[in-house]
Amino acid sequence: MSVAEPGLKKNYLTGLKEAIFEEFESDPNVIAIGEDIGFLGGAFGVTEGLKEKFGPDRVIDAPISEAAIVGVACGMCLNGKKAMVEMQFIDFISTGFDQIVNMTATYHYRTAGEVAINMVIRGPAGGYGGGALYHSQMNEAWFANSPGLKIVCPSTPADAKGLLKAAFRDPNPVMVYEMKELYRQNKISEVLKANDEALVPLGKGVVRREGEDVTIVTYGNNVYHCLQAADNLMSEGFSAEVIDIRSLVPLDEDIILESLKKTNRLVVVNEAPMTCGFAGEIVARMSDRAFDLLDAPPVRVTRLDTPVPWVKPLESFVLPSVNKITEAALRVCRY
């Protein structure tokens, strides 16, 4: 894989690939470990060509054991490496849960700040592609509940590249949730910058669309559903501001607060289940900090509390949609 040619539009997958190749080129201590990441280039081709360019000592094909993958990577970080861990699907991260939350996430605290685990844990996540219950999860709330981890979820090619590069540079573990339905969507493309200019700081959200009547907060694939819903709202006479938080931990609360000062209404959208999901965390924080600004009860639009079905009509039924977001925003606006 060659570095991007200047001026050419790139998609989400390209953004991730460029971030990885550039970080490998700039720092010989960067290594990667995961299932089939060298031999096959990963399940979706994100690491295609990486082993050929940097060799098997830096791009390690691991056995099917997420616990071993994370544990080995943690040990390598303790010995001066910067480790990128790929989960073949984010659903299977559960088998590496202990090594992530009890080992990797806690090292900095347990050593009174003397030890940092410079690890990036990334993988394909999310539904809408007919992947059914084992290949459609968004389990980010598990890890948001684990102090010591940062969590990001890019929605655009530039953010895919910039957030991943920032994750590599962070001294402590960062989890990157990649929307597999966005990987090869060429209609969502941007001209990407080279090297350090592409860094997107962790903990900073972005306004994707300005509006006056309701604030819609989201991240990942749902950004595009919310932007379409904002178009629908315009036809009903309402102007929606769409905020892409990009970074869950740390969360940019200020960008949401500034928006609520204008709109006084809040809708939060994500594709994880509602119960104990991250959408509820955003609603709770805004209820604490912005209660006096709110002219209507905040509303969540999330996946139903059920596994994601394989059959397309049922998958569509349980996941957030443009229509569901539009209807929720209209209820809030008309409250």
61-66: average pLDDT: 97
- Angle between the N-to-C axes of helices 253-263 and 278-290, in degrees from 0 to 180, rounded to the nearest 10: 60
Cα–Cα nearest to 60, from 21, 93, 30: 30
Percent of residues, the chain, with pLDDT higher than 70: 97
Residues of the chain with CATH 3.40.50.970: 9-198
pLDDT for res 1: 40
Q: What is the mean pLDDT of the chain?
A: 95
3-state secondary structure of 243: strand
Residue with tokens 């190749």: 21
The highest-level CATH class for domain 9-198 is: alpha beta
Phi/psi for 252 (5° steps) reads: -85, 85
Separation CA 74–CA 213 (nearest Å) = 47
* Confidence bin at 132 (pLDDT 50/70/90): very high
159-170: average pLDDT: 97
Does residue 295 carry a pLDDT above 70? yes
Tell me: the pLDDT tens digits for 73-103?
Answer: 999 999 999 999 999 999 999 999 999 999 9
* Confidence bin at 2 (pLDDT 50/70/90): very low
pTM beyond 0.85: yes
Separation CA 148–CA 144 (nearest Å) = 9
What's the token pair of residue 313? 């009509």
From 4-8, 107-111, 166-170, 324-328, the region with the lowest mean pLDDT: 4-8
> How many Cα atoms sit within 13 Å of 318 on the Cβ side?
22
Instruction: State the DSSP code for 90.
Output: G
Cβ-based neighbours of 55, under 8 Å, separated by 6 or more: none
Residues of the chain with CATH 3.40.50.920: 206-333
Percent of residues, the chain, with pLDDT higher than 90: 93
pLDDT for res 6: 56
From 88-97, 138-147, 194-203, 263-272, the region with the lowest mean pLDDT: 194-203
Separation CA 91–CA 260 (nearest Å) = 34
Side chain identity at residue 119, one-letter code: M
pLDDT for res 196: 65
From 143-147, 180-184, 192-196, 213-217, the region with the lowest mean pLDDT: 192-196
Separation CA 196–CA 25 (nearest Å) = 12
Catalytic residue IDs: 135
* Confidence bin at 3 (pLDDT 50/70/90): very low
Q: Check: CATH 3.40.50.920 for 206-333?
A: yes
pLDDT for res 5: 57
